[in-house]
Structure 1
Amino acid sequence: MPRWGATQVSAIAHSDVRTWVSQLSAGTAKTNRRDHPRTRAQGAKPKSATVVIRAHGVLASVLDIAVKDRRIPHNPARGVDNLPRKGRKAHRYLSHQEIERLAVASGNHSTVVYLAAYTGLRWGELTALRVRDVDALRRRLAVNENAVRVGAEIHVGTPKTHELRSVPYPEFLELPIAQLCEGKPRDAILFGDGLDYLPRPRASGKSRSWFTTALDVAGLERMTVHDLRHTAASLAISSGANVKAVQRMLGHAPAAMTLDVYADLFDDDLDTVSASLNAARNRAVERAVRVGR
């Protein structure tokens, strides 16, 4: 909005978008003169790769609509080759024993920890679960909604990939989930009092969240609730789940994304492939030798 809010879509050139992306990354982005002075001053600080990519994505999406409305012949924001690359943060994976310590230290929030670590649900998906989403016979959770806090309000919509899915949960969670459902109507929120959504525990700030406190009590390094999603992927892969199953559990749009995000978890599989190929070759050679005799 600061740069393009007062600009006609037909006046936006590809070179302008490219320059804007570079300026955002360098912290020298200029704004339109009609914008508020306070807004213009915000262009001094270099933006992170995530912010730049998101800002460009918003502009490109707006211009995609302009193309469909035939206001412009093509999208000048597409094909920009100077977008910054996001550095990938190393994932933090917990073991079964560490999850147990964390869950015990979490007290009343133990079921939240268990579900996040063994289903891979995003926080918004987890806290948006309702009693009606629990299929106790099949031990499945229907992921139909996603609750996201924007400012002081909770906005409820579809899951991130806009696709509904069914996620299994381990047998040991049958009783804790049944206890969460007890006494609540079908439309009630599964966690908490059934009316209000659980707030995401803050990773920093003056007041310590229950999650930060639980990490300290359990003797674990600092991490976020979202890291439990990575743990779920790790445990599923180590248990022998194939990529397609993990993709469906996590709600990734393509399986390629699962492979890309968790490539480090599949390194051990390369050794398995090599050993399997060697064993298969030896069996084939031995069989051929026996037949030849």
Structure 2
Amino acid sequence: MAKGENIFKRKDGRWEARYIKGYEVSGKIKYGFCYGRTYREAKEKVTKCKAALANGAPLVTSNSRHRFSFYCDEWLRLRKPRIKEATYIKYNTILERHIKPKLGVCFPLGFTTALIDEFTRELLFEGELAPKTVHDILVVLHGILKYMVGVFPGTFPAVEVNYPKVGKKEMRVLSREEQKRFMEYLMKDMDECKFGVLLALFTGMRIGELCALRWENISLTERAIRIAATLQRLKDTEAVGSTKTRIVVGTPKSDTSVRLIPMTDFAFELCERMNPKSTAAYVLTGTKEYMEPRTLQYRMEKYTHDCELEGIHCHTLRHTFATRAIEVGFEIKSLSEILGHATTAITLDRYVHSSMELKRDNMNKLTAAGL
């Protein structure tokens, strides 16, 4: 640092240049700050700011004194009216647990691709987070960085976010023999909860949608089930203490998740057998009291343990339904709408699992081609 320049290297590796921005009424000096990755960059910025002050031009660094955590909060505040409560809680958790503790003290104009890469490395190897979890964190960070470009037009550095490779996890699907065994178990001494699990297997509905399903949403005349709500246990952002949660019954995951699912003949017969006392009753309980997803998961653990089935949970039923549908030649657009997906690509990529039996049948078709 040259004498009188007021430019020095910080502990985080960046260079900081300070200049007199003005004076308060009391006569106290108001300083301005510029930051750079090198001494020369910081000096060039501070020189421009001094020249702008001398010419009466506006300073481009007027917002740069806020730390990154400030802009994280602003980004989330602006997003809140446009996203679902569950999404807001997810974003807030990512900010508070991962982004703000590691990047919150940084100054926005000092962000670099190398800084983001180091942040990613720490999440993966020091935090030992799964690549999918790190990917979700970086998606939120990327959204904030895009917001920052608008806050600092022309001055925010070009930063690249390099996402970790997320391996495709093969989802567990019930084989036909396992499915038959599981159905026979559920139909023996069938109660409301077992009936609901069967209904999920026959329709592919999500666990939250099943927990929120009431008998008023099942039409025996139309032989169809209307999915119009989902039930979740979410973090209570209004309560004191981070461990507080509450049950929220709201609209489904997306607009396409609000749908009408036709029933198979078997599902229709089961619905007729249940004979609910009230249309306002929840399907899983037969009363006006709901069953939350966590309780249903515990029930599923018992059911699958009794059937000697391993690696099975509620979402397995959804994947099994989609796979059986493809095996019998289900039209993909119809299947996508029944599952509540926005596109058929999601259905094919995530929810369709070709069995060895189906692969063998398709390979045998090549006989006609002389192979």
| Contact 1:17 1:76 (8 Å CA) reproduced | no
Structure 1 residues 134 and 99, CA gap change in structure 2 (3 angstroms): same
Q: Which residue of 2 aligns with 1:88?
A: 169
| Contact 2:173 2:353 (8 Å CA) reproduced | no
Structure 1 residues 238 and 22, CA gap change in structure 2 (3 angstroms): same
Q: Which residue of 1 aligns with 2:289?
A: 195
Q: Which residue of 1 aligns with 2:321?
A: 232
Partners in 2 of 1:9 and 1:77 — Cα distance? Answer: 11
| Contact 1:127 1:198 (8 Å CA) reproduced | yes
- Pairwise CA distance, 1:227: 0.6
Aligned partner letter, 1:26: F
Partners in 1 of 2:300 and 2:189 — Cα distance? Answer: 7
Q: Residue by residue, what CA displacement relative to the aligned partner does 1:128-176 show, whole Å, maximum 9, x if unpaired?
A: 1233322222222121222122254222333223322212222222354
- Pairwise CA distance, 1:178: 4.7
Alignment match of 1:215 (pick from 300, 304, 307): 304
- Pairwise CA distance, 1:15: 3.3
Larger Rg: 1 or 2?
2
Alignment match of 1:165 (pick from 256, 259, 279): 259
Aligned partner letter, 2:132: T
Structure 1 residues 170 and 71, CA gap change in structure 2 (3 angstroms): same
2:95 maps to 1:13: no
| Contact 1:125 1:145 (8 Å CA) reproduced | yes
Partners in 1 of 2:228 and 2:221 — Cα distance? Answer: 19
SS in 2 for 1:253: coil
Pairing 1:44-123 to 2, within 5 Å after superposition: 45-66=127-148, 70-73=150-153, 80-95=161-176, 96-104=179-187, 107-108=190-191, 109-123=193-207
Structure 1 residues 76 and 184, CA gap change in structure 2 (3 angstroms): farther
Partners in 2 of 1:13 and 1:270 — Cα distance? Answer: 51
SS in 1 for 2:305: helix
Partners in 1 of 2:303 and 2:188 — Cα distance? Answer: 5
- Pairwise CA distance, 1:252: 2.1
Aligned partner letter, 1:265: S
Give unmatched runs, 5+ long, in structure 1: 28-44, 204-208, 282-293
2:238 maps to 1:148: no
- Pairwise CA distance, 1:13: 3.4
| Contact 1:10 1:71 (8 Å CA) reproduced | no
Q: Residue by residue, what CA displacement relative to the aligned partner does 1:79-133 show, whole Å, maximum 9, x if unpaired?
A: 5234231341342224241231341368422212211111111100111123332
Q: CA RMSD in A?
A: 3.3
Aligned partner letter, 2:331: N
Give unmatched runs, 5+ long, in structure 2: 1-99, 236-244
How many residue pairs get matched?
255
The farther-off stretch of 142-151 and 98-107 is 98-107
Structure 1 residues 145 and 60, CA gap change in structure 2 (3 angstroms): farther
Alignment match of 1:134 (pick from 210, 214, 218): 218
Partners in 1 of 2:229 and 2:350 — Cα distance? Answer: 23
Structure 1 residues 97 and 120, CA gap change in structure 2 (3 angstroms): same
Partners in 2 of 1:9 and 1:118 — Cα distance? Answer: 51
SS in 1 for 2:102: coil
Partners in 2 of 1:76 and 1:120 — Cα distance? Answer: 46
Structure 1 residues 143 and 4, CA gap change in structure 2 (3 angstroms): farther
| Contact 1:93 1:227 (8 Å CA) reproduced | yes
Partners in 1 of 2:152 and 2:216 — Cα distance? Answer: 47
Partners in 2 of 1:102 and 1:254 — Cα distance? Answer: 35
TM-score by length of 2: 0.59
Structure 1 residues 16 and 181, CA gap change in structure 2 (3 angstroms): farther
